[in-house]
């Protein structure tokens, strides 16, 4: 017995020791183990895909490449297929995905049609435009980017994913990562603005919010980065228009956010409507197959935008649907959204030898891979949970998150004489403007399943903040939109009627302060909403001027989806808040800032022009050969009737406190390949309120194989300081920091001299120099 006992004890010691040393061996190597497990999991998935593809017919492989619209919530021409024909194709396994099918009931019904009737029972993807929220709406993406708070942006997308998946969606058509410098383009509201470095950071945050750490979790979904590529560079800012862009501009400005998305593991991408130098993006082999899939090694799938494959016929790039299908699949476009080209043409093209079946198989493999990663083959109904749909959507917690992100997205553009924050014990406030009591516009465009007129209006937010002791008067002043608001029809904007101004002037005369809500209606921006005039409408300008004549204490709250040219307003109004279209909790969030419950911390992600004639306008422009007026003559790069600089520059944003930058230091004045230098600055809150500051790092490459921008954002950090508190903020500069796509047609750092700038906006003058040698 004793011997047996000793043997057992010895065995226990041995096993314990093995476990102990195993744990020691794994300490610090979790990442390596996770990588091995991830690789093994990928191998398992690839083996499963191989097995499945080996038994699929050509028609079934093509079926995975077909995406149908499931309702009349469209962003393009309605489908010419009836529901009966769609059902037949679904049950035959000839459809890979559906869009605009929402709710557990609807998605479960269609999924069951496929799973019960199709031969191979391959589950569907259900896609939807989840742009800035699902039912709980967050600020429009451009506005949310103004927070410069990557964790808040990630949180926004994660809440949207939670709600969308609770309603049966497993694939979001977002984020949009197009860089745009033209405020005339309506879709500028969907992105992160004008800067590729900043846009890359925001893109990754949104992808992480949508996809989480594990795509198979039921509260995450597959992201779809769009639009590949250069959609934001449409000529004249006109949607769907031609793009003419050079190779170097493409690589240095347009592609970085897409590359960052690939490195973040984005599941899918959407091609763009536009052509790029004569080739429609949907049929652009260099972009899709060569750069994205080959050079970057990306294994996700590309979906066309709505009918953009067949639209290559209108471009004059394809003679018919069959040729459009041929060009698109060869170029690398994997899935056809509502184009009807792949389903009608690919089988014949393969049989005629015009398309290699391996291209079809590669496209199907990419789509199947995402379905496996989502866990749909383990449980096709994993997003069909009625309890989640009842409990996880439009909750108090989600609305609180919306309010939090919204107040962080507000930018204080101007605050003369510290008119803001307003006191809550004011005797009277006049809330004036066409958007003051508007409960729909704050929801913004691309509003998913938001309930119309469900947002908290500015008037409601102010009343809730101050209580009944303050006299609140309200007048619309002028109307903004005329007639019914519609996502798919042109908005009629009031450009003449000023009949309500007299009432507004009357209440303004007797108020201590006027809060004026002006800007754009929700559907003045978004897809198909390009404008040549980005000023306030004439009735709104007349309203402001009339009120200003009787009461100079005006706080302007701009509500808009694009940068506006508001030079006249900016010259007169003592305080201006850029409040964008902030979503469900808009009015409460604005009131939080108006009355100082939250100290504004937003910074502009895009430049505001003085005049539409300046656009496209952006901070990281080139010097030109004649940047300065040195001799008093006219021959330099300028306008004769307006300044060159923007009204409000990229990175601009004030606070209710003040920040001082001092002790700007650089560890070395030069470094070589494989080395690094550190730059630091001490930031002090010199005011009386706790506040946040976005410390921004810019670099100028003085001489290059290509002309270089006068300044480029290369780092930023959001800090919060108590009054009197200081913090040293440091940035590490490496070879990667200063690399760009050079004349050698590759990404590299060139030796030379550089300037480095640190401050609270792109117009900072705090600078030092360094050099780099190889």
| Distance of alpha carbon 642 from alpha carbon 154, whole angstroms | 39
Q: Which of 373, 347, 357, 297 is nearest to 54 (CA)?
A: 357
How far is C-alpha 298 from the geometric centre of its chain's CA atoms? 21
Place of tokens 């004036």: 432
Known catalytic residues are: 305
Place of tokens 């949508």: 210
Q: Which of 168, 158, 166 is nearest to 209 (CA)?
A: 158
Contact, 192 vs 153, CB < 8 A?
Answer: no
Burial tier of 277 (Cβ tally within 10 Å: 0-12, 13-18, 19+) = middle
Q: At what angle do helices 83-91 and 104-117 cross, to 10 degrees?
A: 50
Q: Which of 227, 541, 588 is nearest to 439 (CA)?
A: 588
Which long-range CB contacts under 8 A does 479-485 form with residues at least 24 apart?
A: 479/434, 479/539, 480/434, 480/435, 480/438, 480/441, 480/520, 480/521, 480/537, 480/540, 481/521, 481/523, 485/440, 485/452, 485/521, 485/522, 485/523
Q: Please give the order of strands across the beta sheet that includes 125-128.
A: 171-172, 125-128, 97-99, 66-69, 336-337
C-alpha dist (Å) from residue 360 to 92, 130, 324: 18, 28, 15
Quickly list DSSP for 253-265.
IISHHHHHHHHTT
How far is C-alpha 245 from the geometric centre of its chain's CA atoms? 22
Q: Which of 461, 423, 413 is nearest to 575 (CA)?
A: 413
| Distance of alpha carbon 405 from alpha carbon 407, whole angstroms | 6
Sign of CA dihedral 230, 488, 310, 531: negative
Q: What are the residues facing 126 on neighbouring strands?
A: 98
Quickly list DSSP for 639-691.
-SSS-SS-SB-TT--B-SS-EEEEEEEES-SEEETT--EEEEEEEEE-SSS-E
Which long-range CB contacts under 8 A does 246-255 form with residues at least 24 apart?
A: 247/745, 248/706, 248/741, 248/743, 250/276, 251/741, 251/747, 252/196, 252/740, 252/741, 253/179, 253/196, 254/178, 254/179, 254/196, 254/229, 254/230, 255/229, 255/291
β-strand 712-721 against 691-701: which pairing, if any?
antiparallel
Task: Give the containing element (helix H, strand E) for 368.
Answer: helix 357-374
Q: Which of 374, 102, 362 is nearest to 222 (CA)?
A: 374
Burial tier of 518 (Cβ tally within 10 Å: 0-12, 13-18, 19+) = buried
Q: Phi then psi for 485, rounded to 5 degrees?
A: -80, 140
Contact, 282 vs 331, CB < 8 A?
Answer: yes
Q: What are the residues facing 232 on neighbouring strands?
A: none
Contact, 422 vs 506, CB < 8 A?
Answer: no
Secondary structure (H, E, C), 26-93 = HCCCHHHHHHHHHHHHHHHHHHHHHHHHHHCCHHHHHHCCEEEECCCCCCCCCCCCCHHHHHHHHHCC
C-alpha dist (Å) from residue 371 to 64, 123, 507, 668, 744: 11, 8, 60, 50, 40
Place of tokens 């742009």: 131
């Amino acid at each position: 017995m004793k011997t047996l006992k000793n043997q057992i004890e010895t065995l226990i010691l041995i096993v314990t020791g093995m476990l102990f040393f195993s744990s020691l061996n794994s300490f610090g190597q979790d990442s390596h183990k996770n990588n091995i497990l991830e690789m093994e999991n990928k191998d398992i998935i690839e083996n499963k895909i191989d097995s499945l593809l080996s038994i699929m017919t050509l028609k079934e492989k093509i079926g995975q490449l077909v995406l149908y619209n499931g309702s009349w919530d469209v962003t393009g021409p309605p489908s010419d297929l009836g529901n009966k024909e769609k059902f037949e194709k679904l049950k035959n396994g000839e459809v890979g995905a559906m869009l605009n099918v929402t709710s557990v009931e609807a998605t479960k019904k269609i999924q069951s049609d496929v799973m019960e009737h199709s031969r191979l029972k391959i589950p569907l993807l259900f896609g939807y435009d989840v742009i800035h929220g699902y039912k709980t709406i967050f600020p429009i993406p451009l506005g949310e980017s103004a927070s410069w708070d990557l964790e808040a942006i990630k949180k926004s997308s994660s809440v949207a994913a939670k709600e969308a998946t609770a309603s049966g969606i497993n694939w979001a058509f977002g984020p949009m990562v197009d860089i745009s410098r033209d405020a005339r383009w309506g879709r500028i509201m969907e992105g992160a603005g004008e800067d590729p470095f900043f846009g890359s950071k925001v893109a990754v945050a949104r992808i992480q919010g949508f996809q989480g750490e594990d795509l198979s979790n039921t509260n995450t979904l597959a992201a779809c980065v769009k639009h590949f590529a250069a959609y934001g560079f449409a000529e004249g800012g006109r949607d769907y228009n031609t793009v003419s862009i050079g190779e170097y501009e493409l690589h240095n400005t347009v592609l970085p956010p897409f590359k960052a998305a690939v490195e973040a593991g984005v599941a899918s991408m959407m091609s763009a409507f536009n052509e790029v130098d004569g080739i429609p993006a949907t049929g652009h082999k260099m972009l899709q197959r060569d750069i994205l899939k080959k050079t970057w090694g990306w294994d996700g799938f590309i979906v066309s935008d709505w009918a953009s494959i067949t639209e290559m016929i209108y471009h004059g790039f394809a003679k018919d649907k069959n040729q459009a299908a041929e060009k698109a699949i060869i170029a690398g476009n994997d899935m056809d959204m509502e184009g009807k080209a792949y389903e009608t043409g690919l089988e014949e093209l393969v049989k005629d030898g015009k398309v290699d079946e391996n291209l079809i198989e590669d496209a199907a493999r990419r789509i199947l891979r995402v379905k496996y990663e989502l866990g749909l083959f383990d449980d096709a109904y994993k997003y069909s949970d009625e309890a989640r749909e009842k409990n996880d959507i439009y909750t108090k917690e989600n609305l609180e998150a919306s309010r939090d992100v919204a107040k962080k997205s507000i930018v204080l553009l101007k605050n003369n004489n510290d008119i803001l924050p307003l006191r809550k014990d004011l005797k009277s406030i006049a809330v004036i403007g066409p958007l003051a009591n508007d409960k729909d516009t704050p929801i913004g465009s691309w509003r998913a399943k938001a309930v119309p007129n469900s947002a908290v209006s500015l008037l409601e937010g102010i009343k809730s903040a101050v209580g009944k002791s303050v006299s609140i008067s309200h007048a619309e002043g002028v109307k903004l939109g005329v007639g019914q608001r519609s996502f798919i029809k042109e908005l009629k904007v009031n450009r003449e009627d000023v009949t309500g101004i007299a009432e507004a002037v009357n209440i303004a005369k007797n108020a201590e302060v006027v809060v004026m809500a002006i800007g754009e209606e929700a559907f003045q921006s978004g897809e198909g909403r390009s404008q040549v005039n980005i000023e306030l409408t004439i009735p709104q300008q007349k309203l402001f001027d009339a009120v200003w004549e009787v009461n100079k204490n005006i706080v302007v709250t701009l509500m808009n989806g694009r940068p506006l040219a508001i030079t006249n307003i900016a010259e007169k109004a003592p305080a201006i808040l850029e409040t964008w279209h902030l979503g469900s909790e808009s009015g409460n969030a604005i009131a939080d800032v108006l009355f100082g419950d939250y100290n504004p911390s937003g910074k502009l992600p895009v430049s505001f022009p003085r005049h539409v004639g300046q656009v496209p306008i952006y901070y990281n422009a080139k010097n030109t050969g004649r940047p300065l007026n040195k001799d008093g003559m006219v021959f330099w790069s300028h306008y004769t009737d307006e300044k060159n600089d923007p009204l409000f520059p990229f990175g601009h944003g004030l606070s209710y406190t003040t920040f001082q930058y001092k002790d700007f230091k650089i560890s070395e004045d030069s470094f070589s390949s494989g080395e690094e230098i550190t730059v630091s600055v001490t930031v002090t809150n010199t005011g009386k309120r706790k506040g946040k500051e976005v410390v921004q790092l810019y670099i100028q490459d003085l001489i290059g194989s290509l002309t270089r921008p006068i300044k480029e954002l290369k780092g930023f950090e959001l800090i919060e300081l108590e009054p009197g508190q200081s913090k040293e903020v440091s940035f590490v500069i490496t070879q990667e920091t200063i690399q760009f796509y050079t004349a050698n047609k590759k990404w590299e750092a060139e030796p030379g001299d550089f300037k480095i700038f640190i401050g609270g906006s792109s117009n900072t003058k705090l600078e030092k120099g360094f050099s780099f040698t190889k």
